[in-house]
Amino acid sequence: MSKNNRTLLIIEDDRGLQSQLRWHFDDYDTVFAENRQDAIAALRLHESVVIIQDLGLPPDQDGVDEGFKCIQDIIRMSPTSKIIVMTGKTDHENAIRAIAMGAYDYYEKPVDPQTLDLIVQRAFNIYELEEENRRLIRLQQTPLEGLVTHDPTMLKICRMLEKVSPTNVTCTLLGESGTGKEVMARSIHQLSPRRQKRFIAINCAAVPENLIESELFGYEKGSFTGAAKQTLGKVETAHEGTLFLDEIGDMPLNLQSKLLRFLQERVIERVGGREEIPVDVRVICATNKDLQQMVDDGSFREDLFYRISEVTIRIPPLRQRQGDNVLLARHFMLKFAKEHKQKIKGFTPDAVEAIESYSWPGNIREMENKIKRAVIMADGKHITRDDLDLVIDGNDLSFNLRQVRQEAEKHAILRAVAMTDNNISAAAKLLGITRPTFYDLIKKHDIPLGNHNGCATLEP
């Protein structure tokens, strides 16, 4: 069997047997420990998924049975790992006890290489099957394709999307340019009963004012110069699907009344036509403008404002999302490295620092462009600070020491989670703390561990 980066942890205090097992399992990355303390340290460092443990470890200074205590510690730290206990021929009862505690299998000494080989190979195979099953379950629970986040506020937004998606209410997404409003609109569509029908998007700011009515509602043949044939508009094209009106704050006032009539009556009239055409469509709107202020200024109809705001979702800018900078940067790095066939492995420490420090005024769209450029410009296998071409403003300092400490602690946790690709054990190791301490900090800072439809989750 090839190594395939498989690490086998062997907990055995007999040096002679260690030597025999090291020679026999030379196709694996073998790691040895002689007692419970060394075994736990090795497990934290190497995260072995298969462990061979001698059940007859010598007791500690207080006379506590190290063998069973070691099993308990391993199962608590890494519940999906496979523990194979080795016992003497007369120790069948304790072997059964170890299985009852959560060990995967047992083997009686003396060592028969072929039999032990089969047990170890099967343990690795079963672990891989279970891991694949867990991965598939996670995929089934993540329908918000394209949404990558660890931020608590964004996780709450995920839950909101999950609730509103099966309904027909008109949603309005508010947020700065580049925060991912269209990604969320598409997510709502994919979670809705209309997912098999079309998702039609129109940017109200990108269409000239004299053309936007015909673009939305279509036109009849001969209704104006150049109208050579009957043409359906975006609304009619989206029949039984979802219509996404991006930058609705830029819609001209004279067209706002027609849009309001459509939302109330669910019928349209093509430009140059007289026939009322019923349309069944889910409408989602988005804007980077303050619609309430526009209502107060008279540049946006108040009745339309309330009609499109049955549910309003405010999307925070990237600079306010905790732990998302490096997470998104890695996501784009992997994406563009694959697209451009570049052998980029990651970021240098100064690049990670720059990604975290930069304010990202252009939000996710700016990050996407910067990472794409960096992937193309990188000379080595790691993206550097210079490749990113970011200008960092170092004047943003806070002098509230307690707040700085708390924010730095939470920020460090979220960064560690992002940099270790959601692995709790690896994140704790990166922070230099134990797994229980890591859980205490997660609880202290109210950082959610659950999976919420496409939002990133922490893996044990």
Per-residue pLDDT reduced to its tens digit, 373-391: 999 999 988 999 899 988 8
pLDDT average, residue stretch 197-206: 94
pLDDT tens per residue across span 41-75:
888 888 889 999 988 877 766 666 788 889 988 98
Instruction: Judge whether 300 lies within some domain.
Output: yes
Which pLDDT band, with edges at 50, 70 and 90, does 339 fall under? very high
Both 112 and 24 in a single domain?
Answer: yes
Instruction: Judge whether 449 lies within some domain.
Output: no
Which pLDDT band, with edges at 50, 70 and 90, does 258 fall under? very high
Structure tokens at 376: 């193309």
Q: Is the pLDDT of residue 145 over 80?
A: no
The pLDDT score that the predictor gives to residue 143 is 42
Q: Which residues contact 193 (CB under 8 A, 6 or more apart)?
A: 166
pLDDT average, residue stretch 246-260: 93
Q: Render 213-228 in DSSP notation, one character per residue.
A: HHHHH-B-TTSSTT--
Instruction: Judge whether 460 lies within some domain.
Output: no
pLDDT tens per residue across span 211-227:
899 999 999 988 888 88
Q: Is the pLDDT of residue 289 over 60?
A: yes
Q: Render 216-278 in DSSP notation, one character per residue.
A: HH-B-TTSSTT--S-B--HHHHTTTSEEEEETGGGS-HHHHHHHHHHHHH-EE--BT----EE
Instruction: Judge whether 230 lies within some domain.
Output: yes
Q: Is the pLDDT of residue 244 over 90?
A: yes
- CA dist 160 and 188 (Å) reads 10
Both 159 and 271 in a single domain?
Answer: yes
Both 312 and 326 in a single domain?
Answer: no
Instruction: Judge whether 147 lies within some domain.
Output: no
DSSP 58: P
- CA dist 13 and 19 (Å) reads 11
Structural domain of 396: 320-444
Q: Is the pLDDT of residue 39 over 80?
A: yes
The mean predicted confidence, pLDDT, of the chain is 85
Instruction: Judge whether 372 lies within some domain.
Output: yes
The pLDDT score that the predictor gives to residue 454 is 40
CATH number of the structural domain spanning residue 121: 3.40.50.2300
The pLDDT score that the predictor gives to residue 197 is 94
For residue 344, which of 308, 394, 388, 393 has the smallest C-alpha distance? 388
Instruction: Judge whether 2 lies within some domain.
Output: no
Both 172 and 288 in a single domain?
Answer: yes
Torsion angle of the four alpha carbons 164, 166, 172, 176, in this order, in degrees rounded to the nearest 10: 80
Q: Render 425-459 in DSSP notation, one character per residue.
A: HHHHHHHT--HHHHHHHHHHTT---S-BTTB---B
Which pLDDT band, with edges at 50, 70 and 90, does 449 fall under? low
**Candidate ranges 16-30, 70-84, 168-182; pick with highest mean pLDDT:** 168-182
SS3 99: helix
Both 175 and 293 in a single domain?
Answer: yes
SS3 259: helix
Q: Is the pLDDT of residue 460 over 90?
A: no
The pLDDT score that the predictor gives to residue 1 is 38
pLDDT average, residue stretch 443-450: 70
Both 231 and 126 in a single domain?
Answer: no
The pLDDT score that the predictor gives to residue 448 is 65
Which pLDDT band, with edges at 50, 70 and 90, does 129 fall under? confident
CATH number of the structural domain spanning residue 182: 3.40.50.300
pLDDT average, residue stretch 347-366: 89
Q: Is the pLDDT of residue 427 over 70?
A: yes
Q: Which residue has the tokens 């550097």?
A: 384
Both 251 and 335 in a single domain?
Answer: no
- CA dist 360 and 247 (Å) reads 21
Contact 151, 323 (CB under 8 A): yes
Both 326 and 289 in a single domain?
Answer: no
Tell which of 87, 117, 140 closes a domain. 140
Q: What letter represents residue 92's amino acid?
A: H
Which pLDDT band, with edges at 50, 70 and 90, does 172 fall under? very high
Number of C-beta neighbours around residue 193 at 10 A: 12
The pLDDT score that the predictor gives to residue 61 is 66
Q: Is the pLDDT of residue 420 over 90?
A: no
pLDDT average, residue stretch 170-192: 93
Instruction: Judge whether 163 lies within some domain.
Output: yes
CATH number of the structural domain spanning residue 326: 1.10.8.60
Both 114 and 183 in a single domain?
Answer: no
Tell which of 316, 338, 362 closes a domain. 316
The pLDDT score that the predictor gives to residue 137 is 57
Number of domains in the chain: 3
Tell which of 275, 297, 316 closes a domain. 316
For residue 332, which of 155, 135, 179, 148 has the smallest C-alpha distance? 148
pLDDT tens per residue across span 105-119:
988 888 788 888 899
Angle made by CA atoms 22, 25, 27, in degrees to the nearest 5: 125
Q: Is the pLDDT of residue 452 over 50?
A: no
pTM for the full predicted model? 0.57
Both 202 and 167 in a single domain?
Answer: yes
More confident residue, 123 or 26: 123
Both 44 and 134 in a single domain?
Answer: yes
pLDDT average, residue stretch 145-161: 82
**Candidate ranges 6-15, 79-88, 196-205, 208-217; pick with highest mean pLDDT:** 196-205
Both 178 and 69 in a single domain?
Answer: no
